[in-house]
C-alpha cells in the first residue's frame, strides 16, 4: 500500500489522463520547448503511435487536437509539420479590424520609435519579469491615406535581445518575433475600452484632444502561457471596427 499504490491523491489526476491526452501533451511540450521547432516535420503516424505506445486511432485523436489549436498543419501525402506563424495566420488570428464595406483592414506602418527602458512595477508583474529591462516600441499605422492606429508595445529585453538591430521592423510583428527571436505568440487577451485621445494620440491620429478612441490593452502569450508582449493600441474607429465573432 506504500510503493505499489502509485495512485496517490497528488497524481490521481495525472494517472487518470487518457492516453490521447497524454500523447497530445507530450507533443505540445516538444513544440513548446523547441525540440520540434516551427516548420519541423513530425514522424509519420505509425512511428508516433509506436513511440507513445498507443494505437493509430488514439494517436490521431491527439494530433487532431493539436491541429484544431493551430499548432500543427497536416496534409495528405505530405505529412505533419509544426505550424509557422505566417503573416496570413497572424493577421487572421490577431488583427480584428474590418471596414464598413466588410473588408479586412491591414494598416501600413507610418512611423516607429524604439527605446530601452525600465519596466514599471505593473509591467514587471504583467510580464512576469525577473529583470526589469524592456523595450518600448511605439508605432503609428495608417490605412486608406490616413493614420488609424497608435500602438505602444512593451517587450522584455531578455526575450528580444537585439531588437534594435532589426529596424525598421516589419509590419507583421508576430511572425518576426518567431523567426528572429524564437518567441511564438499563440494566444492573446484584449481588454477593450473607449478612451479620450491624449495629446500624443491626438497629434498622431489627427483628431482633437479628447476625441473618442478605441483602446485595446493586450497581453500576448506563448505556448507555455508565458507573457511575451504587452501592447496598448489606440484605434481611430472612423469607417473601421474591431470585429469579434462570438459563439456557443
Binding site for DNA (CB under 7 A): 18-21, 42, 44-46, 53-58, 60, 63, 74-80
Query: In 49-145, which ranges are E strands?
Result: 72-75, 79-82, 97-99, 108-118, 133-143
| Residues contacting 245, CB < 8 A, separation 6+ | none
Nearest CB to DNA, comparing residues 10 and 245: 10
User: CB under 8 A: which stretch of 107-115, 125-133, 149-157, 238-246 binds a second copy?
Assistant: 238-246
Is 188 a binder of a second copy (CB under 8 A)?
Answer: yes
d(CA 9, CA 200): 56
CB of 33 to DNA, least distance (A): 21
Is residue 122 involved in binding a second copy (CB under 8 A)? no
Number of residues that bind a second copy (CB under 8 A): 40
Task: Give me 199's grid cell.
Answer: 495629446
- Looking at beta carbons only, is 64 or 207 nearer to DNA? 64
Identity of the residue, 15 or 113, whose beta carbon is nearer to DNA in the bound complex: 15
Options 110, 180, 187, 202; binder of a second copy; rule CB under 8 A: 187
Minimum gap (Å) between residue 192 Cβ and a second copy: 4
Residue 70 touches a second copy, criterion: CB under 8 A: yes
Separation of alpha carbons 29 and 46, rounded Å: 20
Question: Cα separation of 230 and 216, whole Å?
Answer: 11
Q: Among a second copy, DNA, none, what binds residue 6 when CB lies within 5 to 8 Å by partner kind?
A: none
The nearest distance, CB 10 to DNA, in angstroms, is 17
Q: Pick the closest to residue 129 from 35, 56, 226 (CA basis).
A: 226
- Give yes or no for a contact between 83 and 63, defined as CB atoms under 8 angstroms apart: no
Give, in order, the Cα–Cα distances in Å from 60 to each of 19, 66, 226: 11, 10, 28
What 3-state DSSP class applies to 205? Answer: helix
Ramachandran bin of 247, using left for φ above 0, alpha for ψ from -120 to 50, beta for the remaining angles: beta
Nearest distance in Å: CB 89, DNA: 17
User: Residue 70 touches which of a second copy, DNA, none (CB < 5 to 8 A by kind)?
Assistant: a second copy
Which CB, 72 or 204, lies closer to DNA?
72
- 79 binds, options DNA, a second copy, none, Cβ within 5 to 8 A by partner type: DNA
Amino acid at each position: 500500500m506504500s510503493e505499489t499504490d502509485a495512485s496517490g491523491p497528488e497524481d490521481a489526476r495525472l494517472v487518470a489522463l487518457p492516453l490521447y491526452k497524454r500523447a497530445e501533451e507530450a507533443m505540445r511540450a516538444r513544440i513548446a520547448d523547441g525540440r520540434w521547432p516551427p516548420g519541423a516535420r513530425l514522424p509519420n503516424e505509425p512511428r508516433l503511435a509506436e513511440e507513445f505506445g498507443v494505437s493509430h486511432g488514439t494517436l490521431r485523436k491527439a494530433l487532431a487536437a493539436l491541429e484544431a489549436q493551430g499548432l500543427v498543419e497536416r496534409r495528405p501525402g505530405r505529412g505533419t509539420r509544426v505550424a509557422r506563424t505566417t503573416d496570413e495566420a497572424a493577421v487572421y488570428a490577431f488583427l480584428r479590424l474590418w471596414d464598413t464595406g466588410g473588408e479586412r483592414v491591414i494598416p501600413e506602418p507610418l512611423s516607429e520609435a524604439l527605446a530601452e527602458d525600465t519596466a514599471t512595477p505593473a509591467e514587471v508583474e504583467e510580464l512576469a519579469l525577473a529583470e526589469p529591462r524592456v523595450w518600448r516600441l511605439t508605432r503609428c499605422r495608417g490605412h486608406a491615406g490616413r493614420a488609424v492606429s497608435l500602438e505602444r508595445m512593451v517587450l522584455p529585453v531578455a526575450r528580444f535581445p537585439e531588437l534594435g538591430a532589426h529596424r525598421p521592423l516589419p509590419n507583421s510583428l508576430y511572425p518576426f518575433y518567431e523567426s528572429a527571436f524564437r518567441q511564438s505568440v499563440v494566444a492573446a487577451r484584449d481588454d477593450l475600452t473607449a478612451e479620450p485621445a491624449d495629446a500624443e494620440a491626438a497629434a498622431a491620429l489627427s483628431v482633437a484632444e479628447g476625441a473618442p478612441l478605441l483602446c485595446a490593452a493586450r497581453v500576448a502569450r506563448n505556448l507555455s502561457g508565458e507573457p511575451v508582449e504587452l501592447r496598448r493600441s489606440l484605434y481611430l474607429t472612423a469607417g473601421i471596427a474591431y470585429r469579434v465573432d462570438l459563439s456557443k
